[in-house]
Amino acid sequence: MKPAQLSFPELTRARSQVISALQTLCAKNESRAAQILDLGPKQHDDIRRNALLAKAPAGPAIEVYTGVLYDALDVTTLTTTQRRRLDKNVAIASGLFGLLRPSDKIPAYRLSGDVTLPTVGSLAQYWRTFVSAALESVPGVILDLRSSAYVALGPIPPAAAQRAVVGRVLLERGGKRSIVSHHNKATKGRLVRALMQSGAAPKNINSLITAITEVGFHCELNEATKLGLPATLDIIVRQA
Protein backbone atom coordinates (compact mmCIF):
# COMPACT_ATOMS: atom_id res chain seq x y z
CA MET A 1 0.00 0.00 0.00
CA LYS A 2 1.31 3.43 -0.99
CA PRO A 3 -0.75 6.31 0.46
CA ALA A 4 0.68 8.77 -2.07
CA GLN A 5 -0.87 6.77 -4.93
CA LEU A 6 -4.42 7.07 -3.60
CA SER A 7 -6.97 9.61 -4.80
CA PHE A 8 -7.16 12.94 -2.98
CA PRO A 9 -3.36 13.20 -2.74
CA GLU A 10 -3.69 16.26 -0.51
CA LEU A 11 -4.56 13.78 2.27
CA THR A 12 -1.31 11.80 1.93
CA ARG A 13 0.53 13.21 4.95
CA ALA A 14 -2.53 12.95 7.19
CA ARG A 15 -3.11 9.37 6.06
CA SER A 16 0.47 8.39 6.81
CA GLN A 17 0.15 9.65 10.38
CA VAL A 18 -3.06 7.72 11.04
CA ILE A 19 -1.64 4.56 9.46
CA SER A 20 1.50 4.83 11.59
CA ALA A 21 -0.52 5.39 14.76
CA LEU A 22 -2.79 2.40 14.07
CA GLN A 23 0.09 0.07 13.18
CA THR A 24 2.08 1.07 16.28
CA LEU A 25 -0.90 0.60 18.60
CA CYS A 26 -1.72 -2.85 17.22
CA ALA A 27 1.88 -4.06 17.10
CA LYS A 28 2.75 -3.02 20.66
CA ASN A 29 -0.20 -4.18 22.77
CA GLU A 30 -3.08 -6.28 21.48
CA SER A 31 -5.11 -5.94 24.67
CA ARG A 32 -4.92 -2.14 24.64
CA ALA A 33 -5.63 -2.08 20.90
CA ALA A 34 -8.72 -4.25 21.42
CA GLN A 35 -9.99 -1.84 24.08
CA ILE A 36 -9.36 1.30 22.01
CA LEU A 37 -10.77 -0.20 18.79
CA ASP A 38 -13.70 -1.81 20.64
CA LEU A 39 -12.89 -5.29 19.37
CA GLY A 40 -13.83 -8.55 21.08
CA PRO A 41 -11.71 -11.65 21.84
CA LYS A 42 -12.62 -13.23 18.48
CA GLN A 43 -11.42 -10.17 16.55
CA HIS A 44 -7.73 -10.27 17.46
CA ASP A 45 -6.92 -11.31 13.91
CA ASP A 46 -8.07 -7.81 12.91
CA ILE A 47 -5.55 -6.34 15.34
CA ARG A 48 -2.73 -8.42 13.88
CA ARG A 49 -3.82 -7.39 10.38
CA ASN A 50 -3.72 -3.74 11.40
CA ALA A 51 -0.16 -4.19 12.68
CA LEU A 52 0.97 -5.28 9.21
CA LEU A 53 -0.86 -2.75 7.06
CA ALA A 54 2.20 -1.58 5.14
CA LYS A 55 2.90 -5.10 3.87
CA ALA A 56 -0.66 -6.38 3.49
CA PRO A 57 -2.13 -7.24 0.07
CA ALA A 58 -4.42 -4.56 -1.33
CA GLY A 59 -7.55 -4.53 -3.46
CA PRO A 60 -10.08 -1.98 -4.73
CA ALA A 61 -11.68 -0.19 -1.77
CA ILE A 62 -15.16 -0.89 -3.12
CA GLU A 63 -14.43 -4.63 -2.84
CA VAL A 64 -12.53 -4.49 0.45
CA TYR A 65 -15.36 -2.80 2.36
CA THR A 66 -18.33 -5.00 3.27
CA GLY A 67 -21.77 -4.65 4.80
CA VAL A 68 -25.42 -4.09 3.91
CA LEU A 69 -24.76 -1.02 1.75
CA TYR A 70 -22.02 -2.73 -0.27
CA ASP A 71 -24.12 -5.87 -0.68
CA ALA A 72 -26.94 -3.76 -2.13
CA LEU A 73 -24.54 -1.91 -4.42
CA ASP A 74 -23.27 -5.29 -5.68
CA VAL A 75 -20.34 -3.74 -7.51
CA THR A 76 -19.08 -6.99 -9.05
CA THR A 77 -22.16 -7.15 -11.31
CA LEU A 78 -21.77 -3.62 -12.66
CA THR A 79 -20.41 -3.25 -16.18
CA THR A 80 -16.96 -1.82 -16.86
CA THR A 81 -18.52 1.47 -17.95
CA GLN A 82 -20.65 1.62 -14.80
CA ARG A 83 -17.65 0.95 -12.60
CA ARG A 84 -15.71 3.74 -14.30
CA ARG A 85 -18.69 6.01 -13.66
CA LEU A 86 -18.74 4.87 -10.02
CA ASP A 87 -15.05 5.62 -9.60
CA LYS A 88 -15.41 9.09 -11.08
CA ASN A 89 -18.49 10.13 -9.13
CA VAL A 90 -18.34 8.38 -5.75
CA ALA A 91 -16.09 9.01 -2.76
CA ILE A 92 -15.91 6.71 0.28
CA ALA A 93 -15.33 8.09 3.78
CA SER A 94 -12.70 6.29 5.85
CA GLY A 95 -11.35 6.68 9.36
CA LEU A 96 -7.96 5.48 8.11
CA PHE A 97 -7.70 7.23 4.74
CA GLY A 98 -10.08 10.20 5.03
CA LEU A 99 -11.60 9.89 1.54
CA LEU A 100 -11.09 7.32 -1.20
CA ARG A 101 -12.30 6.59 -4.69
CA PRO A 102 -13.79 3.11 -5.18
CA SER A 103 -10.86 1.80 -7.25
CA ASP A 104 -8.15 2.94 -4.81
CA LYS A 105 -6.10 -0.06 -3.70
CA ILE A 106 -6.18 -0.57 0.06
CA PRO A 107 -5.62 -3.47 2.49
CA ALA A 108 -8.31 -4.89 4.75
CA TYR A 109 -8.22 -3.21 8.16
CA ARG A 110 -10.36 -2.47 11.21
CA LEU A 111 -10.79 1.13 12.36
CA SER A 112 -14.12 2.85 12.97
CA GLY A 113 -14.56 6.55 12.34
CA ASP A 114 -15.43 7.29 15.97
CA VAL A 115 -12.17 5.95 17.46
CA THR A 116 -9.62 8.01 19.41
CA LEU A 117 -6.09 6.85 18.52
CA PRO A 118 -2.96 7.43 20.62
CA THR A 119 -0.77 10.25 19.16
CA VAL A 120 -3.54 11.21 16.72
CA GLY A 121 -6.49 11.74 19.04
CA SER A 122 -10.13 11.74 17.99
CA LEU A 123 -10.36 10.80 14.32
CA ALA A 124 -13.34 13.15 13.91
CA GLN A 125 -11.29 16.10 15.15
CA TYR A 126 -8.17 15.00 13.29
CA TRP A 127 -9.80 14.57 9.88
CA ARG A 128 -12.37 17.36 10.01
CA THR A 129 -10.37 20.14 8.36
CA PHE A 130 -8.64 17.88 5.83
CA VAL A 131 -11.77 16.06 4.63
CA SER A 132 -13.94 19.17 4.48
CA ALA A 133 -11.29 20.88 2.33
CA ALA A 134 -11.15 17.85 0.03
CA LEU A 135 -14.94 17.89 -0.33
CA GLU A 136 -14.85 21.57 -1.23
CA SER A 137 -12.50 20.73 -4.10
CA VAL A 138 -14.94 18.15 -5.53
CA PRO A 139 -16.77 19.78 -8.46
CA GLY A 140 -20.49 19.74 -9.12
CA VAL A 141 -23.47 18.68 -7.06
CA ILE A 142 -22.81 16.58 -3.93
CA LEU A 143 -25.16 13.93 -2.53
CA ASP A 144 -23.86 13.13 0.97
CA LEU A 145 -24.93 9.62 1.99
CA ARG A 146 -22.50 9.19 4.89
CA SER A 147 -23.60 8.03 8.34
CA SER A 148 -23.27 10.55 11.18
CA ALA A 149 -19.97 9.07 12.42
CA TYR A 150 -18.39 9.62 9.01
CA VAL A 151 -19.96 13.03 8.45
CA ALA A 152 -18.10 13.98 11.64
CA LEU A 153 -14.82 13.22 9.85
CA GLY A 154 -15.47 16.21 7.57
CA PRO A 155 -18.85 17.92 7.16
CA ILE A 156 -19.84 19.58 3.91
CA PRO A 157 -18.06 22.97 4.10
CA PRO A 158 -20.13 26.18 3.91
CA ALA A 159 -18.53 27.05 0.56
CA ALA A 160 -20.06 23.88 -0.98
CA ALA A 161 -23.36 23.87 0.93
CA GLN A 162 -25.42 25.48 -1.85
CA ARG A 163 -24.58 22.62 -4.22
CA ALA A 164 -24.94 19.79 -1.70
CA VAL A 165 -27.73 17.76 -0.12
CA VAL A 166 -27.58 15.30 2.76
CA GLY A 167 -29.44 12.12 1.89
CA ARG A 168 -31.67 10.67 4.61
CA VAL A 169 -33.60 7.42 4.16
CA LEU A 170 -37.01 7.22 5.85
CA LEU A 171 -39.22 4.14 6.07
CA GLU A 172 -42.88 5.05 5.67
CA ARG A 173 -45.35 2.56 7.10
CA GLY A 174 -48.94 3.26 8.04
CA GLY A 175 -48.49 6.93 7.33
CA LYS A 176 -45.60 7.25 9.80
CA ARG A 177 -41.96 7.76 8.91
CA SER A 178 -38.91 6.51 10.78
CA ILE A 179 -35.21 5.82 10.28
CA VAL A 180 -34.43 2.09 10.14
CA SER A 181 -30.76 1.12 9.94
CA HIS A 182 -31.09 -1.82 7.53
CA HIS A 183 -33.38 0.04 5.14
CA ASN A 184 -31.11 3.08 5.37
CA LYS A 185 -27.97 1.26 4.29
CA ALA A 186 -29.58 -1.02 1.72
CA THR A 187 -31.49 1.84 0.11
CA LYS A 188 -28.33 3.93 -0.19
CA GLY A 189 -26.54 1.05 -1.88
CA ARG A 190 -29.40 0.46 -4.31
CA LEU A 191 -29.66 4.17 -5.07
CA VAL A 192 -25.98 4.51 -5.93
CA ARG A 193 -26.19 1.40 -8.09
CA ALA A 194 -29.25 2.70 -9.94
CA LEU A 195 -27.67 6.09 -10.60
CA MET A 196 -24.49 4.49 -11.97
CA GLN A 197 -26.56 2.22 -14.22
CA SER A 198 -28.67 5.12 -15.48
CA GLY A 199 -25.70 7.16 -16.64
CA ALA A 200 -27.26 10.31 -15.16
CA ALA A 201 -24.90 13.26 -14.81
CA PRO A 202 -26.79 15.85 -12.74
CA LYS A 203 -25.29 19.35 -12.72
CA ASN A 204 -27.34 20.79 -9.87
CA ILE A 205 -29.69 19.76 -7.06
CA ASN A 206 -32.84 19.94 -9.22
CA SER A 207 -31.38 17.65 -11.86
CA LEU A 208 -30.14 15.31 -9.11
CA ILE A 209 -33.69 15.02 -7.79
CA THR A 210 -34.93 14.34 -11.32
CA ALA A 211 -32.30 11.62 -11.79
CA ILE A 212 -33.20 9.96 -8.49
CA THR A 213 -36.89 10.04 -9.34
CA GLU A 214 -36.29 8.60 -12.80
CA VAL A 215 -34.54 5.53 -11.36
CA GLY A 216 -37.56 4.78 -9.19
CA PHE A 217 -36.98 6.46 -5.84
CA HIS A 218 -39.31 8.94 -4.16
CA CYS A 219 -37.54 11.90 -2.57
CA GLU A 220 -38.44 15.19 -0.91
CA LEU A 221 -36.19 18.23 -0.54
CA ASN A 222 -36.03 20.10 2.77
CA GLU A 223 -34.23 23.42 2.59
CA ALA A 224 -31.36 24.10 4.97
CA THR A 225 -32.29 25.58 8.34
CA LYS A 226 -29.17 27.75 8.55
CA LEU A 227 -26.94 29.58 6.10
CA GLY A 228 -23.85 27.53 5.27
CA LEU A 229 -25.56 24.16 5.80
CA PRO A 230 -26.64 21.80 3.00
CA ALA A 231 -30.30 20.98 2.38
CA THR A 232 -31.67 17.55 3.35
CA LEU A 233 -33.02 15.16 0.74
CA ASP A 234 -35.40 12.61 2.24
CA ILE A 235 -35.52 9.34 0.31
CA ILE A 236 -38.80 7.62 1.18
CA VAL A 237 -39.16 3.84 1.28
CA ARG A 238 -42.88 3.00 1.47
CA GLN A 239 -44.22 -0.20 2.97
CA ALA A 240 -47.86 -1.25 3.18
Query: Hey, where are the domains in the chain?
Result: 3-239
Lowest mean pLDDT among 68-77, 174-183, 225-234: 174-183
The reported pLDDT for the residue numbered 200 is 93
Q: How confident is the model over 224-239, as pLDDT tens digits? A: 989 999 999 999 988 7
The reported pLDDT for the residue numbered 41 is 86
Cβ proximity of 122 and 129 under 8 Å: no
Q: Where are the alpha helices (DSSP H) in 111-147?
A: 123-137
- pTM of the shown model: 0.93
DSSP codes joined into one string, 91-155: -EEETTTEEE-TT-EE------TT-EETTTEEHHHHHHHHHHHHHHHS-S-EEE---HHHHTTSP
